[in-house]
Amino acid sequence: MKTADIVRFKGVSLFALIATSAVSAIGFLWPFIISEKQGHPQWIFLLATPFALLVLLIGISNKSLDSKSVALLAVLSALIAALRPMGTGAVGIEPMWFVLILAARVFGASFGFLLGTIAMFLSAILTGGLGPWVAYQSFAAGWVGLGVSLIPKKVKGKMEIAALAFYGIIAAEFFGIAMDLQFWPWTLGADTQLSYRAGAPLGENFSHFISYHFLSSMAWDIPRAIFTASLIFLTAKPVLHTLRRAHTRAAFMTPIEFIERVRA
């Protein structure tokens, strides 16, 4: 017998994660996939993503969440949600990503995913910025947390910090692209050089998007990447130490043994 494990996607919930992620990925990528001129398929995706997120969170909270995981998630989500508006949104200065990335490194990919989604959602409530885009932001932040598991467990010390900082750059850019992708078809109106044009060939839309992305938001993504990587460099050592200590103290998966007597 062991104490409860930290929250992990496995079995049915892992399947749910993959399925909902796939739906949500289409929700991001639909401008490149749909070639219908008529109808408004995009509305379906705009709604599908929040629902996918909802289904996933309900699924996992039904049984896999132990009180210790809940406590950790709650404390770290609150911290991240509070940190996010501290950069006042100025050109991509969002001092939240480093906490998410470091916490995901210590507590694992599943935890990272949940932390990203919940923290994003919470910060939207705190800042009053609730809307359909929140689900996109949540999913993207969740993937950022999930992706930390790409760094192998055995990487340690300075290499680990360098790898995490590098991941910070990738994650910041990834988040930027994802947000643009979500926003792009709805903005600009039709028929500009950068607009989404329903029914246009994939190549045209893609090049429009890339131009849009570089013109509109590199000013956000580059500072965000630099800022996140620097924060990871500066704080990784003490923060990782503190989080790992919390991980040890929380005693996940520690054996429990019941015996009759210690001494014969």
Partner 1 sequence: MITFSNVSLIYPHSTKTVLEDLSFQIEEGEMVLIMGETGSGKSSLLRLINGLVPHHTGGILAGDIEVDGISTRSVKPGALAHLVGIVGQNPIQGFVTDIVEEELAFSMEALNVAPDVMRKRVEEVLDLLSLNSLRNRSIATLSGGEQQRVAIGAALVMQPKVLVLDEPTSALDPIAAEEVLSILHRLVHDLSVTVILAEHRLERVIQFVDRIIYIEGNGETSIGSADEILKNSDLVPPIITLARALNLSEIGTSVREVRRHTDAIRNRDYREFIEPKTSNSPAILIDWISHSYGDKKALNNVSATFHHGEIVAIMGRNGAGKSTLLHSIVGLHSPASGNVSVNGQDPTRLTGAVRRRSIGYVPQEPSDLLFASSVHDECDQADSDNQLAEGSTAALLHRLVPAISLHAHPNDLSEGQRLALVLSIVLAANPEVLVLDEPTRGLDYRAKAIFGAALKEYASHFNRPVLLATHDVELVAEISDRVLFLAEGDIVADGTTLDVLLSSPAFAPQVAKVMAPKPWLTVSDVVEALGENS
Contact set with partner 1 (CB under 8 A): 2-4, 67-68, 241, 245, 251, 254-263
Residue closer to partner 1, measured from CB, 4 or 222: 4
Element (H, E) at 81: helix 67-83
Q: Which residues of 187-218 are buried (b: 16+ CB within 10 A; e: fewer)?
A: ebeeeeebbbebeeeeeebeebbeebbeebbe
Q: Hey, how many other C-beta atoms are within 10 angstroms of the C-beta on 134?
A: 19
CB of 93 to partner 1, least distance (A): 27
C-beta of 68: minimal distance to partner 1 in Å? Answer: 7
Quick count: other Cβ atoms within 10 Å of Cβ 126? 13
- Which of 57, 44, 50 minimizes the C-alpha distance to 131? 50
Kindly tell me which of 21 and 64 has the beta carbon lying closer to partner 1.
Answer: 64
**Nearest to partner 1 of 11, 255 (CB atom):** 255
CB of 74 to partner 1, least distance (A): 11
- Tell me 231's DSSP state: H
To partner 1, the closest distance from the beta carbon of 3 in angstroms equals 5
HSE-up of 97 (CA within 13 Å, CB side)? 36
Q: Which neighbouring-strand residues pair with 123? A: none
d(CA 221, CA 148): 19
Would you say 66 or 173 has its CB closer to partner 1?
66
Question: For partner 1, which is the closer residue by CB, 190 or 256?
Answer: 256
